[in-house]
Amino acid sequence: MFYYELLWINATIYRQKGIYMDDSMRKRLEATLVRFKEIEEELSSNEVASDVKKLTALSKERGSLEPAYLKYVEYLKLEENAKGALDIIE
């Protein structure tokens, strides 16, 4: 029972405070997510492995995107959990 009470409290706070991401921020983070995945694909290709300059550039870009990518993935999971909690209590 305690677990469901916590879900209800979290879902209520989520709904009341309007903890939703701004559309412009979501678009930017979605673009980061897509680019990060593209870089991952490129880094695994044989062409890039043989081109040191491209490998270095992609690795640096990946490193700069990784913190935002990881936080956004974490946010998406939390958002999904909060929506699930709302479904349970409603």
Estimate the crossing angle of helix 52-89 against helix 23-43, to 10 degrees. Answer: 130
CA distance 1 to 29: 36
Indicate yes or no: pTM above 0.75. no
Cα dihedral 51→45→58→66 (10° resolution): -160
Is 49:79 a contact under the CB 8 Å cutoff? no
Residues 28-84: tens digit of each pLDDT: 999 999 999 999 999 999 999 899 999 999 999 999 999 999 988 988 888 788 777
Higher pLDDT, 11 or 1: 11
90: DSSP letter: -
